[in-house]
Structure 1
Amino acid sequence: MKLSISKSVAATGALLSGSVHVARADNPIIQTLYSTDPAPYVWNNTVWLFTGHDQGGSSNYDMRDWRLFSSTDMVNWRDWGQMLSLKSFSWAKADAWAAQVIERDGKFFYYVTVTKNGGGYAVGIATSDKITGPYKDALGKQLLSNNGIDPTVFIDDADGQAYMYWGHNSAYYVKLNRDMLSYSGSMVSTSVSNFIEGPWLHKRNSTWYLTYSSMGGGNEDIKYATSTKPTGPWTSKGTIMPSQGKSFTNHVGIIDYKGGSYFFYHNGALPGGGTYSRSVCVEKFNYNSDGTIPKITMTDAGAPQIEPLNPYQQVEAETIAFSSGLTTAATSDGSGIYVTSISNGDYIKVKGVDFGSAGASSVDLRVAAASGGGKIEIRVGSQTGTVIATCTIDATGGAQTWKTVSFPVTGATGKQDVFFKFSGSGYNFDWWQFKQSTTAA
């Protein structure tokens, strides 16, 4: 996931600033922070995307917490905020590196990599009764440590046996016990061609796939191997994603969701991005007829939208296909996430919003402003597209004093990309909801 290298990479504290107006698609899929090491997980008809977090603006890896996002359409991603931090593990010293979450028997298990007190890498586990947390250190100590990193866990649907792979220059596995907090037998070293780090274990039909970061062209590429057994032996199948993307490292996660196959990775594509300021992306792909994985190239386009977004339900403001300038934060009472650090020219794009033939007559916004405020123009089609609502944001009495305000809407029909374009500053944005017209547009 992160090898020590001496290469210096320029970075900036800002991501997409409000002054940047780019006509682009939706990779990287997170723009409010630098995200790394994607670990997608399908549960309850939703893709839950667990990531690491580069602080950015550093000449080395600076990673202090782990984050969660979710989507049901593969383009609009909701930010759930921080799930864990280094402070969650009393025995951890630094380096909130790659992690993965899996559910078993109604409990969620969060396998993480850290540098432990006294030095050396170790794997720990946090647990929760809900996928969105809160997660707590389950052991109060490391599960194991052989200076390896990047745990990946998979439960075999054939017999219920869980396996964990991890490694740093060499790949290892253990058989996890039913409690998912301990393992049977010894750590086993297994031969995987050109393995560096970042393993991802999954099964399709009767074939096991071990995908991982290797070396190619000076930066990491993504290779894979297959086996008829979860413990190998592993047969090398070559490179999936060649070295590219302004980042020394890469890290893979693969899922099937609603009839499609998806390949998650990270690169340095955001402004200020690079080796120490990375961002998660996704591509849709099809397995070859023989079960092999085709070559996959990084794109700006990302995955296609697989279903429209319903604007007549409450939508969190931090549900974003693409954004510029702004960030997100947790509410003071810890009840949720909201959009903040809003400045002139910032925007949020929400993709494929289906207003239907009747269209919308009004929109409710949940906002807060200590003083001052500004204006939110809601446009369709683009940042400079047709204005369907103009929403004036006045002071509510505090930055966490939330008020629901309503504004008329005209011209919102059919399926549209919706842009919330901001002016002014000093206000926060929690959620939005359109109301459907009772008469045809």
Structure 2
Amino acid sequence: MLRRLLGVVALICAGIAVPAAAHADNPIVQTVYTADPAPLVHNGRVYLYTGHDEDNSTYFTMKEWRVYSSADMVNWTDHGSPMSLTTFSWASANAWAGQVVARNGKFYWYVPVTNRATGRMAIGVGVATSPTGPFTDAIGRPLAENGEIDPTVFIDDDGQAYLYWGNPNLWYVRLNPDMISYTGAVTRIPLTTSGFGTRTGNTARPTLYEEGPWVHKRNGLYYNVFAAKCCSEFIGYSTAPGPTGPWTYRGTVMPTQGSSFTNHAGVIDFKGSSYFFYHNGALPGGGGYTRSVAVERFSYNADGTIPTITMTTGGAPQNGTLDPYVRQEAETIAWSTGVETERASDGGMNVGYVDNGDYIKVKGVAFGSGATSFTARVASATAGGRIELRLGSPTGTLAGTCTAPATGGWQTWTTVSCPVSGATGSRDLYLRFTGGSGYLFNVDWWRFA
């Protein structure tokens, strides 16, 4: 459904002569609906962990989590779903907002799910040796359970890790170094109006804190960025001199906006810049239960406060370039129309469900003095089609055309090459797919020479 809606929008734009190059890069994933972003910086890349809203949802219907990564904040590689409800044998539903942290050479994914035995929300922990998984259940049972949601984990400079979560309350525990157990009692953080702002019209919840805490530290100051005052939510924040408080409410980070009555924040520093992740309902068919993750670059004020950040369609500027002379996964995308991704038989993911006129945009491709050839790994159970290499827009300068032949199956792969001319400097590359009716072919990876 989502791919069809995006295709319709593209046709409408073409019909009213809106140049395709005007397509922006927020939301950053267009192939599925994503929600509840949790970014992690690791080894020169940002790994973005999200929930997955099912198409046509009328509730928070979420069965799996997904992961994407980027080295430049605009071209995002889809790594698929390395963890789902079935990872936890004791969970029955609700793969909701979580977060991944790295420690001990492993990656720990803290998530809220419904405990089948109790019917309550509980916090589970997945573990993997790679940031892209696969993740397995670390302990075979809930780490903590009190019916509340939205875990976030912060590791302080002294090595002490803290797990926070909660709606309607805000809780924390001190995690042990193994990251899968804790010492001491589950402690409730006092939700005071001085600490978390004043809510009006709801005596049961006098503060603005709603859910979705994100705790981080900068220059010795602790920040708790949270979803505030449902519904519709905005993003507020508080600061403290220590990881458990006392907290002081500092104001609004992102006002209520964006066609989703919830929001959920993640904050990181990467390659010298600060980034704020959130979700909205900006994709076609989007809304409160079909959300999409987006990102903005921001700068802290001189006094350490966070400025007000507004949702944009432009998103964060590119932080680096993309090297076309090494293998690039076809599912590395700045913007796409029509296509979907799926598991590939050779491992990883591939781009599929390609129709005539669909395209993928890859931003800031550093061609340098010029490319002379293009190679791609393709498969087709039908007659195949063509990959047009366009520069600047889907209808921009044609730098080359590669034919993707029939191979006898959607996972029966062959490698094709074609000559290229005019691809120099740093350009936005559009892989435009053309051919007959129906699905044309799949693409696993590509590379220029």
Give your verdict on TM over 0.5.
yes
Alignment of 1:373-388 (within 5 A): 373-388=384-399
8 Å Cα contact 2:237/2:250 also seen in 1: yes
1:18, 1:347 within 8 Å by CA — same for their partners in 2?
A: no
Q: 1:347 aligns with which of 353, 359, 382?
A: 359
* Distance in 1 separating the partners of 2:330 and 2:282: 24
Q: Distance in 2 between matches of 1:107 and 1:418?
A: 35
Partner of 2:79: 80
CA contact (8 A) 1:15 1:33 kept: no
Residue number in structure 2 paired with 1:152: 152
Matched residue SS, 2:153: strand
Q: What is the rounded CA distance, in whole Å, between the counterparts of 2:300 and 2:174 in structure 1? A: 28
Q: Residues 12 and 408 of structure 1: is their aligned pair in 2 closer, same or farther, counting only changes over 3 Å? A: closer
Q: Are 1:324 and 2:337 matched, yes or no?
A: yes
Cα distance change on mapping 1:19 and 1:212 into 2, 3 Å: closer
**Number of aligned residues:** 421
TM-score (norm 1): 0.93
Partner of residue 206 from structure 1, selected from 220, 231, 235? 220
What residue number does 2:35 align with?
A: 36
- In the superposition, relative to structure 1, how do residues 373 and 12 fare at CA in structure 2: closer, same or farther (>3 Å)? closer
| Separation of aligned partners in 1, 2:73 and 2:2 | 28
Shift of 1:215: 1.8
Q: Does 1:235 align with 2:235?
A: no
The 3-state SS of whatever aligns with 2:86 is helix
> Counterpart in 2 of 1:98?
97
Counterpart of 1:69? 68
The one-character-per-residue Cα deviations of 1:180-206 (angstroms, maximum 9, x if unpaired) are 001111111112421111100100010
Corresponding residue SS for 2:113:
strand
Flag the 1:321–1:260 CA change in 2: closer, same or farther, 3 A: same
- Corresponding residue for residue 112 of structure 1: 111
Task: Give the unaligned 5+ runs of structure 2.
Answer: 14-19, 197-207
1:17 aligns to what SS in structure 2? Answer: helix
Going from structure 1 to structure 2, the CA distance change for 1:336 and 1:325 (only over 3 Å counts) comes to same
The Cα shift of 1:147 comes to: 1.1
Gaps of 5+ in 1: 1-10, 436-441
Measure how far apart 1:24 and its partner are.
Answer: 2.2
Relative to its length, the structure with more helix (as a share) is 2
Confirm or deny: 8 A CA contact 1:37 1:52 kept in the other structure.
Answer: yes
Cα contact 2:49–2:99 (8 A) shared by 1: yes
Secondary structure of residue in 1 paired with 2:422: coil
Deviation at 1:13, TM superposition (A): 7.2
Q: Equivalent residue for 1:253?
A: 266
Matching of residues 156-167 of structure 1 within 5 Å? 156-157=156-157, 159-167=158-166
Distance 1:58 1:156 in 2: 38
Match of 1:303 among 283, 297, 316: 316
The verdict on how the C-alpha distance between 1:330 and 1:119 changes in structure 2, with shifts beyond 3 A counting, is: same
Instruction: Work out which of the residue numbers 410, 429, 433 in structure 1 matches 2:443.
Output: 429
Q: Does 1:338 align with 2:350?
A: yes
Residue number in structure 2 paired with 1:221: 234
> Equivalents in 1 of 2:421, 2:44: separation in Å?
33
- The answer to whether 1:272 aligns with 2:285 is yes
Distance 1:305 1:13, change over 3 A: closer
Q: Do the aligned partners of 1:18 and 1:344 also contact (CA within 8 Å) in 2?
A: no
1:345 deviation in Å? Answer: 1.4
Q: What CA distance in whole angstroms lies between the structure 2 residues aligned with 1:389 and 1:24?
A: 22
Is the contact made by 2:2 and 2:32 (CA closer than 8 Å) also made in structure 1?
A: no
Deviates further, 256-265 or 114-123: 114-123
Aligned partners of 2:399 and 2:167: how far apart in 1? Answer: 53
Distance 2:60 2:354 in 1: 27
C-alpha deviations, 1:210-262, integer Å up to 9, x for none?
Answer: 0000127x410000000010011110001100000000100000000000000
Structure 2 residue corresponding to 1:16, chosen from 6, 27, 37: 6
DSSP-derived class of the 2:256 partner = coil
Partners in 1 of 2:389 and 2:357 — Cα distance? 13
Percent identity, please: 56
Tell me, yes or no, if the aligned pair for 1:29 and 1:280 is still in contact at 8 Å: yes
Q: Which has the higher strand share?
A: 1
Offset of residue 39 of structure 1: 0.3
Paired residue for 1:397?
408
Partner of 1:131: 131
- Contact 1:318 1:338 (8 Å CA) reproduced: yes
Distance 2:406 2:326 in 1: 26
Q: Is the 8 A contact 2:3 2:31 kept in 1?
A: no
